Structure 1
Amino acid sequence: MKFGRNLPRNQVPEWASAYINYKALKKLIKAAAESEKQDGALDLAGFFYTLDRNLEDVDHFYNKKFQDFSRRLKLLEDRYGSSSHSVHLLDPDEREDLMAALLELRGQLRKLQWYGEVNRRGFIKITKKLDKRIPAAKAQKRYLELKVDPSAFATNAQLFASLNKINESIALMSEVPTATEHDDVASVSSLSIKRTTSRPTLDISSEQLAKVEAIIRQDDAKGIEEWVNETSTSATESSEPARQQLLKTLLQRAITSRSKECTAYLLREIVFLDDHDDINQRNCIHRLIISIGRKQANRDHDPTIAQVPGVDNEPYNFITPAAEPATQFKRPVVQDDQRSRILTRDDASVAFLEFLLDNLQPVQRPGLLARDSAGRTPLHFAAEYGIRVMCEIIIEHLKAWKLFNVSNGIDGPQWQDNEGWAPLHLSVMGGHPLTTKALLDAEESVALDIPRTSIRQSSLKSSVALALATKANFVEIVRLLINAGVDINYQDDQGDTALHVAARFGHSECARLLLEGSDIQKANTELCENTYSWTPLFIACVDGHLPVVDLLIEHGADLERVDSSGWNAKEHAALRGHVNIAQRLDSIMSGAEVDPDSSLGASPPKVSPSLNERTSNGLGSQAPTIKISEPIKTFGHRYLTDTSMILVSLGTMDTRKSIRAVNLDRIPITNAHNTQLDTALSLVVSAKGAEGEAEVIDLPVQDNIATEPIVFHAKDISTVKLLFDLVPTYAGSRERVVGRGVALLSSIKPNIGTKRMPLQGDVTVPIVAANDLEVIGSVTFNFLVITPFKHPNMVVTENQTYWKSMASTMVIGHRGLGKNLAAGRRSLQLGENTIQSFIAAANLGASYVEFDVQLTKDHVPVIYHDFLVSETGIDAPVHTLTLEQFLHVNDMRTPRHSRPASPVPVENPKISSLKNSDPRLPRMRSMSVGGSDRDDTVDMAERMKHTRDFKKKGFKGNSRGNHIQAPFATLEEMFIKLPTNVGFNIEMKYPMLSESEEEEMDTYAVELNSFVDTVLSKVYEMGKGRNIIFSSFNPDICLLLSFKQPSIPVLFLTDAGTSPVGDIRATSLQEAIRFASRWNLLGVVSAAEPLVAAPRLVRVVKESGLVCVSYGVLNNDAAKVKLQVKQGIDAVIVDNVLAIRRGLTGEDGKRDSQSNGSGGNSNGNRKSITGSLGKSLMGSTESLEIPVPVSVEKTTESEEIRIQVKKEERDEGKVNGGK
């Protein structure tokens, strides 16, 4: 790996400017080398001068940071000591604060350690590069020994000593049992009084300490007064500061013990409440409120959190992995509606707070507004914990003491902490409507000179809080803030308003409140964010929130507005698979539709940036964009020849699952001294036994990682091991492994038999810690193995190439002459996916015929659409039936013999024998003809009535009585019986997991490589000279087809959001474009719905370098097909070939007009296939006979057969009419 390329990744972000300037030094080496080459003189003075300055800067920065961290560590030692005895003296709140400080300091020292190591490696690399480019320099060894190695950052010796000291302190603290709310007093020794300050203190004996502890517990005010006087008089080094500190410590003990009389006495003796020795600069009021809030939060903490056996499962007893330690733990906060009970003034803890404030001396009262190290007052903590009664008590006392200044609002600058948050904001973000209302009411009670709404409008942080409340869907709080006059239309740095946020997360009730607003303001629906000029309507469409879209429509949002790239909201919705939203908008806009070309101008952008984002959350991010491919290749694509490909994707492809790619367990505080997980981490994915560069992914893993696989190649898959290494992000070395997960490809998935595989693709392996081999988490991934395919007929020549362009839109017959529909049509249909149907479609001008190929149990490719063969009477998947069984199902539906048959054509002996095609046997009559055959029809319907398909649709395609039933076909028959000028669009029918579960099939199928290899073998064996396209709804099948052969184009089929699917790659047209572009497929075959709702999306597909094809019921409407044709669609797959061809060529339904039969096929004008194809099928030279009541008209100019199947009246089961 290149050091320079990885340096930005390995830099601590906030220190990035202090690292070695590797790029500049490389340029100097390059310049010196070129100068030596030209002039013959070696001048390295400039390089070494810059190198020395870099070394000085790095060393200075390292030393300065280390001194700062060492000083902080010494302060902690002086304040709290470093022995186990001193640690046991701490009360629970102090212990928590100290633990947080130690962890944060350890995190900073770790980052400094990595800073030194990365820079040392940088100096090694740059001097090595110098010696390599200019051998005469010979500088590396000398420079490292004399200048780099003596520097502190190169060894980290002192830093390691500090880290060890911190880990020892953390280990000591981990041994202290956690105190509960019932033993706060008993668990803390009286010796805590002695640990009062880092400054010189009073010399107090153990007997005296025990005595005062007992006095405080008994709440003996007179006794504490006598003890204080006695101690102060007898102390040899008595001083007023030491006495005051002792009194403050005694006061804290009295407050903890809830000793009112002692507290009142001590308050009279203490001058100021400020406690500068407290680690967070908090006074006794801060600590009391935090203690009350903590107990309330513990009582109400979330019961859904997984419990760790043997560990107190309170949130602050755990460290968050893969994140840098914060200065303070995030204290647990419980929302109002999750509380088991609400504190009142009758509670003892609240009554004690009121007593404490009532007894404050006038000089101590400003302590109620005192700020800690984070700039927070006691009111901040009361509001953050959402304890309304404490907020009310604090505000009452502030008002009584004339300290409640709300002239700039309760959220004004004078109430804000160091980060700009006021108590009101903390209450809002914590989800506390009662507390929020109390704070707003308190402000209302004070008369102001200017309107409150004007004050609120100027408070930017309140508007930010409104957006946060909207994001969290705190409906009642949003209502309170709107009524309080918070600026609804405030835009943050990205241009987002609260309405944008509601639209993004689909919070329709919050959106309704914002849109209705108040008497003085309402949400503006037309404000745009800064990245793509998206209004809230765009956001709701992009993220698929129909209820919010309806609200915006109701409140007059501009539906025809375009973003900065020229696309409207409807097009964004259609592209991302939100077809219901696109159709909703289309139904409203249809009366005043924008001209498709008007908003783009003459030359629209090829792929607009706004179309790249999966969701609105990715605004401005470095998310992968839709790849703009090169023009469709002339001589095929790259394919595997002798090695297998392994595609490894982190996370799950299944959108129905909520599984994180990397899941790390919470780290108990008891293990804090022994972990390196509390820092920024990265996952390194590599493979042993395979070729391919390791991939480094920073945690947390991004949502779109599953569609960005890591590629490896191997000759022997059975020896490959996938390694998932956790390493510190800023360490700059993959060798510093914190934990590892391993997967053996040969055994990671269960073996379910020869040439079978499970459809469940997700695999989860544990991650084991490097230091103690404990399981610390897991990684979830899926992988695909593509083996090479070989066939003697597989070559790349100029005659076997992809299409480069289409002269006109091609018409492709769907399942032959069309998908079979329910009975009740005006005419009977030929059975779908049958030879007769394909012949008819080709005669009616279809450029290609589309059919579905599946494999039987004995691996014979057959033509069948549904996954389940209902004709068996049970839901039997195709791959569970042998060819003999599959064709026998068809034989059971075959009618009686009628008249002598014509000779049969030559075909595969196996198939011939299975079909019982003996020329001596009488020829079968169609199942659509005859009288007594009604009983057979009833029998078949009775047989299928309990199957899934029959229950769902009430019929089965290619079934007698509903359609013109014909025999099942194999792929081999297709090649034999259709002439080579008929193109094949072979849809590879392979179930995805969601489809298998929907059909209630077993979640296994034919092994992917076997499936594809079997079909490819047949195609290359028999497909010479024929135009062939592969297509599939299964993305993995498309990948295999693409990488196994170089000459046959592959199209990716997608529902584009019209039906729910599990695989993220199949969820929308956008994902289909990403997938097809990334893997260089020929194009996309999309459901017609998004393209009809937003025809310009055809351009998005084509301008991404892909062929665009559509399919679906909407393509049976010539007007909707014309919409797509106008935008340049390459092909349409239709059921009614004749009607669509007439519509596209302007025939307008006239039966006798001319037809050229070309359909855009590259073979030129289509010849009649009446003779040759009829002969091939029927074994005679007579015209093609459709054995049902039909009228056949022959047009001599084009020799094209037109077929109209008339539905005759039925009488008592007999079909009347002639041939």
Structure 2
Amino acid sequence: MFCMEHAVLLSANTHSGFSFTLDRQLEDVDTFYNRKYAELSRRLRLLYEKYGMASKLHDGMDKDEMEDLMATLLELRGQYRKLQWYGEVNRRGFIKITKKLDKKVPSSSAQSQYLATKVDPKPFATNNLLTQDMRAVNDWLSSLGPAKLQDDASSVQSGSSGSLRRSASKSSLRLPPANLDALDSAVREDDTVKLLEVLKTSIPATGSESQRKTLLLDLLQRAISFRSEKSIAVILQRVPTLEHDVDMNKRNCLHRLVIAIGRARALDMSARSEGVAGELETGTYINAAQPPVRAPGALKIVERDPDSDFGKDDRAEKLLVFILGHLTSEQRSAIIAKDAYNRLPLHYSAQYGLVEVSRQLMRYMQDWKLFDISDGIDSAWWQDIEGYAPLHLAVIGGHYRTTKALLFVDDEHHNLGARLTHVDVEKNGASLALATKANFVKIVSLLVIEAGVDVNYQDLQGETALHVAARYGHKECMRILLDSTVPTRVDVELVETTYGWTPLFVACVDNQLDVAKLLVQHGAVVSKKDYSGWTPQEHAALRGHLVVADFLRAFTPAPSLNPSPEIAAQSSSFSEMSLEGIRSEGVPREAPNDVTLASKPVKTFGHRYLMGESMVLVSLGSMDNRKNLEAVLLENIALNDAHATQLDTALSLVVSAHGAMGEPTIIDVPVQENISTSPIAFTTKDPSKVKLLFDLVPTYAGRTDKVIGRAVALLSSIKPTIGAKRMNLQGDLSVPLVAGATLDIIGSVNFNFLIITPFVHPNLSVSEDRTYWKASATRIIGHRGLGKNMAPGADKKRSLQLGENTLDSFVTAASLGASYVEFDVQMTKDHIPVIYHDFLVSETGADVPVHSLTLEQFLALSEGGPRAKRQTKLDDGEENTTPKSRVQRSYSLDATVEDDRPDMRERMKHTRDFKKKGFKANLRGEFIQSRFTTLEEMFRRLPQDISFNIEMKYPMLFESLDEDMDTYAIELNSFVDTVLKMVYDLSGKRNLIFSSFHPDICLLLSFKQPNFPILFLTDAGTGSAPVGDIRASSLQEAIRFASRWNLLGIVSAALPFVLCPRLIQVVKNSGLVCVSYGMDNNDPFNSRLQAQEGIDAVIVDNVARVRKGLTEHEQVASLLAAGAVDGADAGGTAS
């Protein structure tokens, strides 16, 4: 009984405490909502007070005023939307919380009572008032859309033909229309006598001081528009301050005048330059998928030299000086007044590149003792709501003269043109970084050489301007920074705080060779290690920047065999993620979670594969890293349509599928980099019935059913067919995004997809207890059998080679100690797997793709005649005689040969392969030629103890284009299924590994069967030109791809491992088997070097020589290890 009472009491106390906490949370939400709503409704009320109802805006308005009003309304609507979503999300939160409480205490009925009595009465739960305000804002935008402008030029330049009746604030005195017209006429004519008379007789004594001030400020703005200087002077004498309490942006007449001068300057330029005019037209559009701009955007204009270029805005500048000269002591604070965006008039003059205006503003600020730079010219006081000081805005706009005017004090009462002291400018590192990023060489020189900005200034992340120049490859800026000696000499070894990277690290990560050379010339330490223990050279090699890595080779100690135990221990201790998963901006890459798997010495047998269902992998964007193709492209929204759009806010894309299983995936727009390498997976029984949906929704709406626009792709018809079991290699697709409300096309979605169908075979099972790969000594794999064929005479010591990819070559390689023999499998027109390396068969005397020949035609090419042999190889083709320049892997490395019939050689000379290399592999007379063979013959004729490494040779789009081939091939699933059927029929107990350079082939092999491991091949950036698939572009991407899809490992070109042997541990620490290929492996020293670091296998051309070298190394290592053990024992005994 006591226990039950105690439990009830404890439950009551717990429930009471929970309710108390929930009530406090409700109060916090309600307080925040009400405070924000009050701020927004006040701004909307100011608009009503100034303009009245939206339907009254038919008289037109000048361009400046319309732009300001439009920008304010758009920003206001954006803030209302965010508050609306805040209310909706929190109400749903309270619903879910109380629902869980009902489950815990079923008898409480807490949800219905709590929602009805406490949540629903709150304003945030219904958003009723907010919805009305948003409807009013949209009415305003709708009225402004078709509104006619009074004139195209700025009102400061031409004067406005509008009326004071329209421009006067509604909160000002209610004067008869006749009096307003009289005031307007007096100002227009600059008749001060008439103006004073009308003011004296028109303003009633009953009006409040605030109303009279508002009328005078409206009148002052009118006088400024007409450049009526006498009227301006008279009005300034009668208005106490220039603070406009009812202005929607909290701007005074100085703000508006400077902005008008800037806009006039831009319009003047647009009249002279069509290019600039084109840029200015973008001001009539709203950027999609972005919140409204908080402050007026900076137009791309070129500042003029006020000393030599006299433009239309000279009169407006003189008007500004006139106004400043007539301000009373009470009005002078207007020059440092901040508007709603925390900006001074000086901000706008700097933004628009108004040199003389900036000079005059600073001059008067100094004269009035209002120019306080004691904390720096870009201190917090000078910064706007976005954190920009006037100096920053001048630099961002590329305004050299304005920047110079801001840096150099032009005070006629002090030192004319005196440079700011170091104390004033030492914090301007942000300005230097901005100028460097934009590559404004002249401004960088000004900041560094003339102004003496500290080049060693580090921001909050520890980055200097050198880091920025290194990231973007701005050589000239880098030279200026490196040559700096004022006030201190540049320090090239300063590190940023995230990873401990110097500028040299950044240059290596971002493949900036020229910048890296400059840094090394100025003493950058090449062997320096970051916080994780990696060097710049290793970062470059990992990311495929092998030209940079090779350049640094001359400045780093050469890798050696038998390193000290300390170095060996250090090499194996570093985390792979510390090197692989980061980029130069200091932000972790979106890498798969399993990229940091612990090292596994053994890969277990069996992995996930498809059974009865197909898989659809959808990738946004393009896999081709040579294309600059956004995943989601949105049209800019015309201002006329601003009232009816929701695109001017943060947006997300929801990818889902009808007719398939799989959770919808939400991706924020704009889509971040490398999204294409993270596909979205769906499963289905029938891929032809799948419909992909791409829904555009508000990011912060808290739900995905508020669809703004949708794109649809029918998988059955979006890709045109080109015959039975054929497919187009062009995979990039684009579908239009259609607006839900108007059915207008608002953009497009670019994507590609891969369908993987299940493979069925009676021998398909995972019943065996075995492993894919057992840890052992480094294995040797014979490249294309005994080795690829070299150019005739390339090695004087070498005897006549066996033809590559021949039965004799495979048998000989196995007898000489090769653990596996590697060969390339392609498919003929009649779907028979054959062994051939090159995509094009040159033996015909023409360049014919393998898939265009039948088996009979293919085999006939090697019967009699030249017997020119195809070239098979696992590597990506180091076909040239020089190891640095490597041609594409689709080219054979072998030589053409004299034939029994003289016309064969002549025919071969006209083929693409012969012209590039000057020879053809497996050609009689230069190689021991054998006939072409098939995969079936390989299984039937080679002994079971010869293990196979089958490279699935399938062209990627960029390879077919490089080879001038037609961009179609055998359908992927058909190609893989045909090979797998033969493998399962004939493999028996033979050890077998699949490999491919084609990422999609690897995916199909992995998802279709669980019995044979897959290796992903990559040239790791050794090619002379960038590859067309980002997944094949570097060792880093290969690791990411293989880890994500649970492949056995990777086969990489050997050069990264030869340059940076520790990268082998990066691969192995990712849980992957590491294999290398390439001509570098033919040097026994390089193979031993990799073996020392634990590489699992090397693919070589000279099996006997490399086998001998590795065996000798293992024997020496064993003796050294034995000696070390004996020494340790002896030492222990002695002690």
Q: Aligned with 1:985: secondary structure?
A: strand
Aligned partner of 1:1088 in structure 2 is 1054
Q: Pick from 426, 437, 448 the counterpart of residue 482 of structure 1.
A: 448
Structure 1 Cα separation of the partners of residues 937 and 9 of structure 2: 73
> Residues 597 and 447 of structure 1: is their aligned pair in 2 closer, same or farther, counting only changes over 3 Å?
farther
Q: Pick from 799, 811, 820 the counterpart of residue 848 of structure 1.
A: 820
Structure 1 Cα separation of the partners of residues 10 and 925 of structure 2: 94
Once the 2 structures are TM-superposed, how far is the Cα of residue 204 of structure 1 from its aligned partner? 3.1
Once the 2 structures are TM-superposed, how far is the Cα of residue 974 of structure 1 from its aligned partner? 0.8
Q: Is the 8 A contact 1:410 1:443 kept in 2?
A: no
Structure 2 Cα separation of the partners of residues 956 and 454 of structure 1: 69
Q: Is the 8 A contact 1:499 1:536 kept in 2?
A: yes
Q: Pick from 45, 48, 51 the counterpart of residue 19 of structure 2.
A: 48
Q: Is the 8 A contact 1:354 1:393 kept in 2?
A: no
> Residues 71 and 895 of structure 1: is their aligned pair in 2 closer, same or farther, counting only changes over 3 Å?
closer
Q: What is the TM-score when the length of structure 1 is the normalising length? A: 0.83
Structure 2 Cα separation of the partners of residues 765 and 1002 of structure 1: 25
> Residues 394 and 493 of structure 1: is their aligned pair in 2 closer, same or farther, counting only changes over 3 Å?
closer
Aligned partner of 2:755 in structure 1 is 785
> Residues 755 and 961 of structure 1: is their aligned pair in 2 closer, same or farther, counting only changes over 3 Å?
same
Q: Residue 81 in 1 paired to residue 52 in 2?
A: yes
Aligned partner of 1:385 in structure 2 is 352
1:133-186 residue CA offsets vs partner (Å, 9 max, x unmatched):
443334333333333333322222222111111111111111213455348488
Aligned partner of 1:58 in structure 2 is 29
Aligned partner of 2:581 in structure 1 is 613
Q: Residue 573 in 1 paired to residue 540 in 2?
A: yes
Once the 2 structures are TM-superposed, how far is the Cα of residue 103 of structure 1 from its aligned partner? 1.7
Q: Pick from 826, 836, 839 the counterpart of residue 864 of structure 1.
A: 836
Q: Residue 699 in 1 paired to residue 658 in 2?
A: no
Within a 5 Å distance, the mapping from 1:168-317 to structure 2 comes to 168-178=139-149, 180-182=151-153, 184=155, 190-193=162-165, 195-205=167-177, 207-210=178-181, 212-213=183-184, 216-217=187-188, 220-222=189-191, 224-237=192-205, 242-260=211-229, 262-263=231-232, 266-267=235-236, 272-300=241-269, 314-317=281-284
Structure 1 Cα separation of the partners of residues 832 and 243 of structure 2: 86
Aligned partner of 1:628 in structure 2 is 596
Aligned partner of 2:993 in structure 1 is 1029
Structure 1 Cα separation of the partners of residues 984 and 306 of structure 2: 76
> Residues 306 and 1091 of structure 1: is their aligned pair in 2 closer, same or farther, counting only changes over 3 Å?
farther
Q: Is the 8 A contact 1:343 1:389 kept in 2?
A: no
User: AA paired with 1:1076?
Assistant: A
User: AA paired with 2:256?
Assistant: R
Q: Is the 8 A contact 1:1054 1:1067 kept in 2?
A: yes
Once the 2 structures are TM-superposed, how far is the Cα of residue 355 of structure 1 from its aligned partner? 4.0
Q: Aligned with 2:175: secondary structure?
A: coil
Q: Residue 120 in 1 paired to residue 91 in 2?
A: yes
Q: Is the 8 A contact 2:995 2:1002 kept in 1?
A: yes
1:268-301 residue CA offsets vs partner (Å, 9 max, x unmatched):
6555444333322323332222112113334556
> Residues 221 and 62 of structure 1: is their aligned pair in 2 closer, same or farther, counting only changes over 3 Å?
closer
Structure 2 Cα separation of the partners of residues 1105 and 456 of structure 1: 54
Q: Pick from 109, 114, 122 the counterpart of residue 143 of structure 1.
A: 114
Q: Pick from 759, 762, 765 the counterpart of residue 795 of structure 1.
A: 765
Once the 2 structures are TM-superposed, how far is the Cα of residue 1092 of structure 1 from its aligned partner? 0.4
> Residues 270 and 135 of structure 1: is their aligned pair in 2 closer, same or farther, counting only changes over 3 Å?
closer
Q: Pick from 644, 657, 662 the counterpart of residue 674 of structure 1.
A: 644
1:1108-1145 residue CA offsets vs partner (Å, 9 max, x unmatched):
00000100000011110000100000011111011111
Aligned partner of 2:744 in structure 1 is 774
Once the 2 structures are TM-superposed, how far is the Cα of residue 637 of structure 1 from its aligned partner? 0.7
Q: Residue 1042 in 1 paired to residue 1006 in 2?
A: yes
Q: Residue 984 in 1 paired to residue 948 in 2?
A: yes
Q: Residue 361 in 1 paired to residue 330 in 2?
A: no
Aligned partner of 2:501 in structure 1 is 534
Within a 5 Å distance, the mapping from 1:701-1100 to structure 2 comes to 701-798=671-768, 801-806=771-776, 808-825=777-794, 826=796, 827-891=799-863, 893=865, 936=900, 938-1059=902-1023, 1060-1100=1026-1066
1:621-672 residue CA offsets vs partner (Å, 9 max, x unmatched):
7655661336344221111111001111111111101111111111111111
User: AA paired with 1:290?
Assistant: I
> Residues 1039 and 597 of structure 1: is their aligned pair in 2 closer, same or farther, counting only changes over 3 Å?
farther
User: AA paired with 1:739?
Assistant: G
Structure 2 Cα separation of the partners of residues 199 and 82 of structure 1: 14
User: AA paired with 2:851?
Assistant: H
> Residues 256 and 234 of structure 1: is their aligned pair in 2 closer, same or farther, counting only changes over 3 Å?
closer
Aligned partner of 1:1103 in structure 2 is 1069
Q: Pick from 44, 69, 75 the counterpart of residue 104 of structure 1.
A: 75
Structure 2 Cα separation of the partners of residues 718 and 558 of structure 1: 58
Q: Aligned with 2:507: secondary structure?
A: helix
Q: Is the 8 A contact 1:634 1:804 kept in 2?
A: no
Once the 2 structures are TM-superposed, how far is the Cα of residue 52 of structure 1 from its aligned partner? 3.0
Aligned partner of 2:634 in structure 1 is 664
> Residues 124 and 267 of structure 1: is their aligned pair in 2 closer, same or farther, counting only changes over 3 Å?
closer
Q: Aligned with 1:741: secondary structure?
A: strand
Within a 5 Å distance, the mapping from 1:367-516 to structure 2 comes to 367-395=334-362, 410-411=377-378, 415-417=382-384, 421-442=388-409, 446-447=414-415, 452-456=420-424, 458-459=426-427, 462-483=428-449, 484-516=451-483
> Residues 783 and 353 of structure 1: is their aligned pair in 2 closer, same or farther, counting only changes over 3 Å?
same
Q: Residue 167 in 1 paired to residue 138 in 2?
A: yes
Q: Is the 8 A contact 2:845 2:908 kept in 1?
A: yes
Once the 2 structures are TM-superposed, how far is the Cα of residue 475 of structure 1 from its aligned partner? 1.2
Structure 2 Cα separation of the partners of residues 39 and 688 of structure 1: 49
Structure 2 Cα separation of the partners of residues 614 and 201 of structure 1: 63
Once the 2 structures are TM-superposed, how far is the Cα of residue 225 of structure 1 from its aligned partner? 3.0
Q: Is the 8 A contact 2:422 2:453 kept in 1?
A: no
Q: Aligned with 1:1146: secondary structure?
A: helix
Once the 2 structures are TM-superposed, how far is the Cα of residue 593 of structure 1 from its aligned partner? 7.5
Q: Is the 8 A contact 1:184 1:256 kept in 2?
A: yes
Q: Is the 8 A contact 1:854 1:864 kept in 2?
A: yes
Q: Aligned with 2:674: secondary structure?
A: helix
> Residues 181 and 599 of structure 1: is their aligned pair in 2 closer, same or farther, counting only changes over 3 Å?
farther
User: AA paired with 1:93?
Assistant: D
Q: Aligned with 1:703: secondary structure?
A: coil
Once the 2 structures are TM-superposed, how far is the Cα of residue 961 of structure 1 from its aligned partner? 3.6
> Residues 442 and 1065 of structure 1: is their aligned pair in 2 closer, same or farther, counting only changes over 3 Å?
same
Q: Aligned with 2:747: secondary structure?
A: strand
Q: Is the 8 A contact 1:33 1:134 kept in 2?
A: no
5+ long unaligned stretches in structure 2:
869-893, 1116-1135
Structure 2 Cα separation of the partners of residues 162 and 381 of structure 1: 31
Q: Is the 8 A contact 1:194 1:209 kept in 2?
A: no
Across the two proteins, how many residue pairs are aligned to each other?
A: 1069
Q: Is the 8 A contact 2:582 2:588 kept in 1?
A: no
Q: Pick from 276, 294, 310 the counterpart of residue 346 of structure 1.
A: 310
Structure 2 Cα separation of the partners of residues 190 and 320 of structure 1: 30
Q: Is the 8 A contact 1:33 1:133 kept in 2?
A: no
Once the 2 structures are TM-superposed, how far is the Cα of residue 194 of structure 1 from its aligned partner? 5.2
> Residues 985 and 413 of structure 1: is their aligned pair in 2 closer, same or farther, counting only changes over 3 Å?
closer
Structure 1 Cα separation of the partners of residues 671 and 141 of structure 2: 30
User: AA paired with 2:914?
Assistant: F
Q: Is the 8 A contact 2:64 2:154 kept in 1?
A: no
Once the 2 structures are TM-superposed, how far is the Cα of residue 565 of structure 1 from its aligned partner? 1.0
> Residues 149 and 287 of structure 1: is their aligned pair in 2 closer, same or farther, counting only changes over 3 Å?
closer
Q: Is the 8 A contact 1:343 1:387 kept in 2?
A: no
1:910-952 residue CA offsets vs partner (Å, 9 max, x unmatched):
xxxxxxxxxxxxxxxxxx9xxxx95645422211222221111
1:443-468 residue CA offsets vs partner (Å, 9 max, x unmatched):
59854999945314542xx1111111
Q: Give the stretch that moved more between structures: 238-247 or 280-289.
A: 238-247
Aligned partner of 2:657 in structure 1 is 687
Q: Is the 8 A contact 1:684 1:726 kept in 2?
A: yes
User: AA paired with 1:713?
Assistant: T
RMSD value, Cα: 3.2
